[in-house]
Amino acid sequence: MKVFADKLPEALAKKLPPVVIVAGEEPLQHMEACDAVRSAARERGIDERDILHVEANFAWGRLREAAASLSLFASRKVIELRLGSQSLGQEGAKALKEYAEAPGNRDNVLLVSMGKLDFRQQKSAWFQALDKLGLFVPVWPVDMARLGFWLRDRAERHGLSLELDAARLLGERTEGNLLAADQELQKLALLLPPGTRVDPAQIAGGVEDSARYDVFTLTDACLKGERERVSRIVRGLRGEGVEAPIVLWALTRELRTLLSLHQHLDQGQSFEHACKAQKPAIFDKRRPAYQQAISRLPRKRLHKLLLFSQRLDLSIKGAAHLPLWEGLHDLALTLAGGRGLLAELPSSYRVG
């Protein structure tokens, strides 16, 4: 049964299942979900714990051994199977399915900690077998539109009252890094009296810029037309030493996807079918962003942007003289609906 991270403690208070799968790549919520399972086990007198780190060439027989071996002082235990981003493989999938099907394992608690699970993996035999026995906790990054509200609620855990504008500013300074945001809230809680109302000035004066960016954050902001955020992310990527070809690859990929969507729409297909025709298909959650971009960017403009990206590629290869990062910013900002920084360059270099 699926249960989200914020509802997990409530679910565990009702019943501690024999299996809990925590899957996702957001570290704070992932860590706290696993902590909640351990805490619920301790409350029920389960103190013994076996930890299995799955690495290359992991011997899956160790899982069977851990389930079968109990100390003289305990009849139940927690078995933590820590996969991280490691692939299960056929042997691992078989071992987990066998574990789920063995009635004697129901007394233990199997905590599977792993990276993101896609829809195909959630339909696999091993996942279905484990899911029938317990809880599946998908850990998703907090969407930028919800981040301010999430941080405001989070501040209450630390005895602070965070104004919404202050929460949004904290979100900007720690974008994509909930762990850093929570650490900043803990610092504020140590410095300020309980119940203090925190305003934007206190955030601006006391919180370090801990934003963590990647090219996928950038493309999402471009599709949604978030121009100020696009500029901030490009600066962040450059400051963090991300290679320019990676940024160009991500932006060019979105340009080609948008052009393909236009082509399908021009053939009379519905937007839903056009999204499904992409390889890989565009999931429901991302479709509104693509729809915004399609309505903002006609096909002719996308072709011009693609030509500009080709000039940037030549610049990367040393075959053209174009300010590289300024050009990437121009490309991203224009994709988001803004006006790029290269407007003063000769027309052959400008985005039209």
pTM of the model: 0.62
What percent of the chain has pLDDT above 70?
Answer: 92
**pLDDT of amino acid 207:** 66
**Nearest-CA neighbor of 5 among 79, 129, 113, 85?**
113
- pLDDT tens digits, one per residue of 234-243: 988 888 888 8
> What local confidence, expressed as pLDDT, does residue 73 receive?
64
How buried is 86 (Cβ within 10 angstroms: 0-12 exposed, 13-18 middle, 19+ buried)? middle
Provide the residue type at 60 as one letter. W
Residue type at position 290: Y
In the DSSP assignment, the letter for residue 78 is E
pLDDT of residue 318: 83
What the chain holds in terms of domains, given with CATH numbers, is: 5-139 (3.40.50.300), 144-206 (1.10.8.60), 215-335 (1.20.272.10)
Q: Are the C-beta atoms of residues 311 and 349 closer than 8 Å to each other?
A: yes
Alpha-carbon span 165 to 202, nearest angstrom? 11
Q: What is the mean pLDDT of residues 124-132?
A: 93
Condensed to tens digits (0 to 9), the pLDDT of residues 147-174 reads: 889 999 999 989 999 998 888 888 887 7
C-alpha torsion sign, points 273, 274, 277, 283: negative
Q: What is the pLDDT of residues 13-25, one digit of tens each?
A: 999 999 999 999 8
Can you read off the two tokens belonging to residue 40? Answer: 């619920």
